[in-house]
Amino acid sequence: MTGEASSPFDLNGRHALVTGASTGIGRATAVLLAQLGARVTVNGRSVARLEETLGLLQGDGHRAAPFDLADTDAIPRWMKAQAETAGPFDGLAHCAGVQVGKPVRSVDRAFFDHILHANLLSALALARGFRQKGCNTGRGALVLVSSVAAEIGQPGNVVYAASKGGLVSASRGLAMEFLRDGIRVNCVAPAMVETDMMERFRQTTTTDQFEAIRAAHPMGFGRPEDVASAIAFLLSDASRWINGVSLPVDGGYLAQ
Ligand SMILES: NC(=O)c1ccc[n+]([C@@H]2O[C@H](COP(=O)([O-])OP(=O)(O)OC[C@H]3O[C@@H](n4cnc5c(N)ncnc54)[C@H](OP(=O)(O)O)[C@@H]3O)[C@@H](O)[C@H]2O)c1
């Protein structure tokens, strides 16, 4: 046999769906997956920002699929339509998410539902959609974006932390449930990453508070590309024997 074996990190011939791809971690993920050879379908709500993302992607065949993932019941149907249009998926990176801080005394049902739907129920509906006949190629991988917030106690962040902890537990269960479908399921758990989400968080803190958070990151804050690299690894064949884990991508934040 002649020819070089392709790298296990190579994503040529793969089709990936990236949610949250209109900015931040999702956009960086879409850019890297395309660089590695994948064809990428990018999701978010902002059509204009999805078009900007498409403009950053190397290669051909990429497309935008704007959709509000808060409509969780409609997600499996929406995914079916995407697969019918653009072909079945090999990978899903679920980067869409919302973070809103609130002390538990102010948490009501509407707030709880909003955060849990956006972060956790959306993931379950996407996983369900991905598993449908015709929606995956039988060599699939899902990566859900959790957070170090799932591992540590932070006042004012209880509901967000619960949603991200739920993703870790759910990914373990999904990993086992989807074994016979050839679909692996893992999480990445970033610490603070420089995105719009971090900027919005910064507005809610004093300079001193924010600098204390920065000081708690041994290697400084992360960049979206740092998380994208971990996601690309978990989507690729390089991680073919990794299943049901949550990988901290945190510059040593949890190691202290
Ligand atoms: N940045 C951090 O420090 C950090 C740390 C740990 C974990 N994370 C997690 O990493 C993920 C990405 O974070 P980020 O910092 O990149 O966030 P971001 O800059 O706020 O971007 C969030 C993305 O999610 C999309 N999105 C939100 N709600 C949506 C909905 N209902 N339907 C469809 N798309 C929706 C947004 O798209 P549209 O606005 O176009 O709808 C946007 O593309 C999130 O899950 C976040 O919880 C972030």
Q: Give the tens place of pLDDT for each residue, 163-211.
A: 999 999 999 999 999 999 999 999 999 999 999 999 999 999 999 999 9
Query: In this predicted structure, what is the pLDDT of residue 4?
Result: 60
- Cα(218)–Cα(72) distance, rounded to whole angstroms? 37
Query: In this predicted structure, what is the pLDDT of residue 5?
Result: 61
Tokens in use for 232?
Answer: 């690309």
- Cα(74)–Cα(78) distance, rounded to whole angstroms? 6
**Checking phi first, is residue 40 left (phi over 0); if not, alpha (psi -120 to 50) or beta?**
beta
What are the sequence ranges of the domains in the chain?
15-250
179 C-alpha to ligand 1 centroid (Å): 28
Task: Give the class (CATH, top level) of 15-250.
Answer: alpha beta
Report the residue among 45, 94, 231 best suited for mutation to probe ligand 1: largest number of ligand atoms under 8 A from its CB: 45
Query: In this predicted structure, what is the pLDDT of residue 160?
Result: 98
Report the residue among 95, 113, 201, 225 best suited for mutation to probe ligand 1: largest number of ligand atoms under 8 A from its CB: 95
Global pTM exceeds 0.95: yes
- Cα(102)–Cα(109) distance, rounded to whole angstroms? 13
Q: Give the tens place of pLDDT for each residue, 66-117.
A: 999 999 999 999 999 999 999 999 999 999 999 999 999 999 999 999 999 9
Ligand 1 pocket, residue 26 CB under 6 Å: yes
Ligand 1 pocket, residue 74 CB under 6 Å: no
